[in-house]
Chain A
């Protein structure tokens, strides 16, 4: 046997371990230990936790309203403020400590809008990504593993790849928006709709990749070995196939967050997303592109936050991949 099955010895149980030298540790402790040793992953985790906490708790601390517009006189006085750091090179800039990142053209506080927008963007990004990875992995594994399902599932994938996204969204919002809004409130309803739509229109690539990998893995000797000792299909998939397709899934997941955040912003822009007075990072970015020479901060901040989130998730994914891979973990 040239290709040693990574998890088979744990599972086989045929040869009992003679004498444990250390107290037994669970698999997850091992994973965590490996994860901690990955510097990039820890940095990614720290950054990600920081961003999530910032947008989740931030609005409690920074109490400026992201949506309210002050009365007329104040509005004219306070609109189009520059961030406080502009003073470093332009002492005449219109700034105020009350608005450290400045205000927009309707005198709404940029910092508050960024924090509020981040809540939505991160929630949408994570949930939609999770949904699409779940669907993609499920369908990919089923298609790759169960021969009978391969044809139908792959044709289904073709169908979804071919569907034009915009009309699909129009139909879905026509049919489900009122019902969802009635059950979950207008914003909750839109959230579910947006997440579901991004999720069900972005799983196809993951499914194809996972299926391709599973097709190749299925022919490997360790699977044959596992089958020959009577491993149930369920265990075979969960313990032998899945850990080996984790890395393309992680890459899809990372890219998926970016896609979800950007798709959400395009949806909002096209009028299918959240209500107009509901900021998200993508929307803030989109709304400010026309003014990027006048107020560069309005595109830089949301753009940077999207990038940082994606980047941190990417490193997190890298670390997770290494930690979940038994061959690397052993080293």
Chain B
């Protein structure tokens, strides 16, 4: 390994002018490290980020989001809009024009049939496709000629860029996957481990949960790209070791998603072999407040189902709880340069980021006064206030994770200063996020008063994400505890405004409604936003062309990566 890196170093020293008209494969090998190892290269069979991103080296969608969250044409000539006639006036069809001369990595032509097949493959009822929401509302896909794809929606769709857009919805080859439809999908190991794609690289060997080796695609559309002839994509281990391998020992060129404490990152950076890169998306660490009563004394059909919570819906209570939290400190302790203070549920994209609230100062005295004024005082002298005759003792749960446990300890301390006593619990992540209706410890069941975790949405349109505040999305025994409205927030005005969003096409108006929904949810005690979390990855100092993108696969522009001089 040392010999190899020496050779690579020598190759870099010979020096190509960075970004100049390089030759395909001239820069040798690039080594990418994901501490979560990919298990399959078919993104339709796995929703895991690691699988989607590793597959994005090979298979590509028609259009992608760039690092600013804007749509860019990828395998098509332009982005269809109402203005250029690509989207019909009644918002029910979208027409994509495929780039002519496009070839699969086996040399065959890329046609509209392949695009149509990808839709059929993912919507097959027995296939269990992880990305089927991308095709929600699609009635049919027509292929009038080999370079034209027409997607027909069942009704007016103000945002028609779901199907075939972004890393989660790539195009797979019909010839390769034709026999792998529906229930037969899992039998096609060779296909799932080595899909034929249009991307810059082709799989030579795939070892599930371990390592992928790839070489440059001979039929890639740009003859000068990719600059790297080979890719080694290693998986496994932990974030600390991954960061070390890039920034301290220089054994790898790129390490994905380093969720490490800020002081650890800055210490690794002193190794001098690599630098962190950061970008921000809508990923938000938040505390959800339970709007139902989680009292263990209630029966299984009532616990966390019956409203209201004994005191958490009192405006003075949730506002005081929010005021007691020092958000800038949380950012500093937990995320450093990979975190930002935010007051919003939807902190990105910018158009949807509301500016009507401020939350960057802690105010313990103000919070205490607010509670005193509302009459919630400590009447029995045990240091805990009473509200409506109930002492304000709350249980606070989250998943097991070092940063979350630090946050829990800090927040518990702050809440104790305003007379609210929190009992902390942490639950193994696979149980907490597991959604098993038989387990009492899932985040959906919410058998606690408050809980903390992070969530985000794909793409740039938060319509369905904002739908997580609708009354009928609350988890309950009736829907096997499956529902995304974890707070059990319920407000008629909110539901009405969301219905209005669903029928609005104008982007500016959609953004305005989105911001209003955001404010309504946060101000009425649905959640306490804590930190807008960025994606922090590390690249070697000699690796050029990296543009971190949180709106699509992180490896979206791997074809443009190159080796540069130190």
Q: Could you tell me if A277 and B263 are in contact, using CB atoms closer than 8 angstroms?
A: no
- The minimal Cβ–Cβ distance linking B384 to chain A, given in whole angstroms, is 16
Q: Could you tell me if B424 and A276 are in contact, using CB atoms closer than 8 angstroms?
A: yes
Known pairs A105-B261, A290-B261; A270 contacts B428 (CB<8 A): yes
Is A231 in contact with chain B by the CB < 8 A criterion?
A: no
The segment from B402-410, B518-526, B534-542 that touches chain A is: B402-410
Interface flags, B196-215, vs A, CB<8A=1, else 0: 00000000000000000000
Q: Could you tell me if A271 and B440 are in contact, using CB atoms closer than 8 angstroms?
A: no
Known pairs A106-B406, A270-B400, A271-B400; A69 contacts B413 (CB<8 A): yes
Interface hits, B321-350 → A, CB 8 Å: 326, 329, 333
Is B264 in contact with chain A by the CB < 8 A criterion?
A: yes
Is A174 in contact with chain B by the CB < 8 A criterion?
A: yes
Interface hits, B45-59 → A, CB 8 Å: none
Give the number of chain A interface residues (Cβ < 8 Å).
27
- The minimal Cβ–Cβ distance linking A95 to chain B, given in whole angstroms, is 18
Residue of A nearest to B296 (CB): A178
Residues of B within 8 A of A76 (CB): 329
Is A92 in contact with chain B by the CB < 8 A criterion?
A: no
Residue of B nearest to A294 (CB): B267
Interface flags, B225-266, vs A, CB<8A=1, else 0: 000000000000000100000000000000000001101100
How far is it, in angstroms, between the C-alpha of A277 and the C-alpha of B405 when the chains are bound?
A: 7
Interface flags, A212-236, vs B, CB<8A=1, else 0: 0000000000000000000000000
Interface hits, A160-217 → B, CB 8 Å: 170, 174, 178, 186
Is B399 in contact with chain A by the CB < 8 A criterion?
A: yes
Interface flags, A252-287, vs B, CB<8A=1, else 0: 000000000000000001111001110000000001
Is A71 in contact with chain B by the CB < 8 A criterion?
A: yes
How far is it, in angstroms, between the C-alpha of A76 and the C-alpha of B328 when the chains are bound?
A: 12
- The minimal Cβ–Cβ distance linking A222 to chain B, given in whole angstroms, is 52
How far is it, in angstroms, between the C-alpha of A289 and the C-alpha of B441 when the chains are bound?
A: 29
Q: Which of B405, B410, B417 has the most CB of A within 10 A?
A: B405
Known pairs A106-B410, A271-B400; A72 contacts B264 (CB<8 A): no
Q: Could you tell me if A178 and B399 are in contact, using CB atoms closer than 8 angstroms?
A: no
How far is it, in angstroms, between the C-alpha of A269 and the C-alpha of B400 when the chains are bound?
A: 8
Is B307 in contact with chain A by the CB < 8 A criterion?
A: no
Interface hits, B363-390 → A, CB 8 Å: 364
Is A91 in contact with chain B by the CB < 8 A criterion?
A: no
How far is it, in angstroms, between the C-alpha of A170 and the C-alpha of B400 when the chains are bound?
A: 14
Cβ contact of A105, chosen from B406, B413, B423, cutoff 8 A: B406
Residue of A nearest to B240 (CB): A290
Q: Could you tell me if B417 and A71 are in contact, using CB atoms closer than 8 angstroms?
A: yes
Give the number of chain B interface residues (Cβ < 8 Å).
34
Interface flags, B415-434, vs A, CB<8A=1, else 0: 00100000111111101000
Q: Could you tell me if B428 and A105 are in contact, using CB atoms closer than 8 angstroms?
A: no
Is B362 in contact with chain A by the CB < 8 A criterion?
A: yes
Is A158 in contact with chain B by the CB < 8 A criterion?
A: no
How far is it, in angstroms, between the C-alpha of A317 and the C-alpha of B392 when the chains are bound?
A: 50
Known pairs A69-B410, A271-B426; A276 contacts B261 (CB<8 A): no
- The minimal Cβ–Cβ distance linking B237 to chain A, given in whole angstroms, is 13
Cβ contact of A276, chosen from B263, B267, B364, B409, cutoff 8 A: B409
Q: Could you tell me if A290 and B260 are in contact, using CB atoms closer than 8 angstroms?
A: yes
Q: Could you tell me if B263 and A178 are in contact, using CB atoms closer than 8 angstroms?
A: no
Is A67 in contact with chain B by the CB < 8 A criterion?
A: yes
Q: Could you tell me if A106 and B362 are in contact, using CB atoms closer than 8 angstroms?
A: no
How far is it, in angstroms, between the C-alpha of A80 and the C-alpha of B406 when the chains are bound?
A: 14
Is B103 in contact with chain A by the CB < 8 A criterion?
A: no
- The minimal Cβ–Cβ distance linking A117 to chain B, given in whole angstroms, is 15
Known pairs A106-B410, A174-B439, A275-B424; A291 contacts B264 (CB<8 A): yes
- The minimal Cβ–Cβ distance linking A69 to chain B, given in whole angstroms, is 4
Q: Could you tell me if B263 and A170 are in contact, using CB atoms closer than 8 angstroms?
A: no
Residues of B within 8 A of A71 (CB): 364, 417
Interface hits, B181-222 → A, CB 8 Å: none
Known pairs A72-B362, A271-B399, A277-B405; A293 contacts B267 (CB<8 A): yes
How far is it, in angstroms, between the C-alpha of A293 and the C-alpha of B269 when the chains are bound?
A: 13
Q: Could you tell me if A186 and B429 are in contact, using CB atoms closer than 8 angstroms?
A: no
Q: Could you tell me if B412 and A271 are in contact, using CB atoms closer than 8 angstroms?
A: no
Residues of B within 8 A of A178 (CB): 296, 440
- The minimal Cβ–Cβ distance linking A34 to chain B, given in whole angstroms, is 48
Residue of A nearest to B329 (CB): A72
Residues of B within 8 A of A105 (CB): 261, 263, 333, 406
Residue of A nearest to B260 (CB): A290
Q: Could you tell me if A287 and B402 are in contact, using CB atoms closer than 8 angstroms?
A: yes
- The minimal Cβ–Cβ distance linking A286 to chain B, given in whole angstroms, is 9
Residue of B nearest to A186 (CB): B423
How far is it, in angstroms, between the C-alpha of A281 and the C-alpha of B431 when the chains are bound?
A: 26
Residues of A within 8 A of B424 (CB): 275-277
Q: Could you tell me if B428 and A272 are in contact, using CB atoms closer than 8 angstroms?
A: yes
- The minimal Cβ–Cβ distance linking A70 to chain B, given in whole angstroms, is 8
Residue of A nearest to B432 (CB): A271
How far is it, in angstroms, between the C-alpha of A277 and the C-alpha of B413 when the chains are bound?
A: 11
- The minimal Cβ–Cβ distance linking B450 to chain A, given in whole angstroms, is 15
Q: Could you tell me if A276 and B240 are in contact, using CB atoms closer than 8 angstroms?
A: no
How far is it, in angstroms, between the C-alpha of A116 and the C-alpha of B231 when the chains are bound?
A: 49
Residue of A nearest to B426 (CB): A276
Residues of A within 8 A of B364 (CB): 71
Q: Could you tell me if B427 and A277 are in contact, using CB atoms closer than 8 angstroms?
A: no
- The minimal Cβ–Cβ distance linking B10 to chain A, given in whole angstroms, is 30
Q: Could you tell me if A67 and B426 are in contact, using CB atoms closer than 8 angstroms?
A: no
How far is it, in angstroms, between the C-alpha of A105 and the C-alpha of B263 when the chains are bound?
A: 10
Residues of A within 8 A of B296 (CB): 178
Residues of B within 8 A of A67 (CB): 409
Q: Could you tell me if B428 and A294 are in contact, using CB atoms closer than 8 angstroms?
A: no
Interface flags, B97-126, vs A, CB<8A=1, else 0: 000000000000000000000000000000
How far is it, in angstroms, between the C-alpha of A308 and the C-alpha of B49 when the chains are bound?
A: 44
Residues of B within 8 A of A270 (CB): 400, 428
- The minimal Cβ–Cβ distance linking A290 to chain B, given in whole angstroms, is 5
Known pairs A290-B240, A290-B264; A277 contacts B410 (CB<8 A): no
How far is it, in angstroms, between the C-alpha of A106 and the C-alpha of B410 when the chains are bound?
A: 8
How far is it, in angstroms, between the C-alpha of A105 and the C-alpha of B426 when the chains are bound?
A: 20
How far is it, in angstroms, between the C-alpha of A289 and the C-alpha of B329 when the chains are bound?
A: 23
- The minimal Cβ–Cβ distance linking A147 to chain B, given in whole angstroms, is 43
Residue of B nearest to A295 (CB): B263
- The minimal Cβ–Cβ distance linking B453 to chain A, given in whole angstroms, is 13
Interface hits, B431-459 → A, CB 8 Å: 431, 439-441
Cβ contact of A277, chosen from B333, B402, B412, B431, cutoff 8 A: B412
How far is it, in angstroms, between the C-alpha of A289 and the C-alpha of B362 when the chains are bound?
A: 32
- The minimal Cβ–Cβ distance linking B400 to chain A, given in whole angstroms, is 3
Known pairs A271-B399, A271-B400; A106 contacts B409 (CB<8 A): yes
How far is it, in angstroms, between the C-alpha of A170 and the C-alpha of B436 when the chains are bound?
A: 13
How far is it, in angstroms, between the C-alpha of A270 and the C-alpha of B238 when the chains are bound?
A: 14
Residue of A nearest to B430 (CB): A170
Residue of A nearest to B248 (CB): A293
Residues of A within 8 A of B410 (CB): 69, 106
CB<8 Å pairs between A and B, sample of 28: A67-B409, A69-B409, A69-B413, A71-B417, A80-B263, A105-B261, A105-B333, A106-B406, A106-B409, A174-B439, A174-B440, A174-B441, A186-B423, A270-B400, A271-B399, A271-B427, A271-B429, A275-B426, A276-B400, A276-B405, A276-B409, A276-B426, A277-B408, A277-B409, A290-B264, A293-B267, A294-B263, A294-B264
Known A68-B413, A271-B428, A293-B267; further 12 A-B contacts with Cβ < 8 A: A69-B410, A170-B428, A170-B431, A178-B296, A271-B399, A272-B428, A276-B400, A276-B405, A277-B408, A290-B240, A291-B263, A294-B264
Which residues on B are within 8 Å of A, measured CB to CB?
Answer: 240, 260-261, 263-264, 267, 296, 326, 329, 333, 362, 364, 399-400, 402, 405-406, 408-410, 412-413, 417, 423-429, 431, 439-441
Which residues on A are within 8 Å of B, measured CB to CB?
Answer: 67-69, 71-72, 75-76, 80, 105-106, 170, 174, 178, 186, 269-272, 275-277, 287, 289-291, 293-294
Q: What are the 6 tightest A-B residue pairs by CB atom distance, in nearest-first order?
A: A271-B400, A276-B405, A271-B428, A69-B413, A276-B426, A290-B264
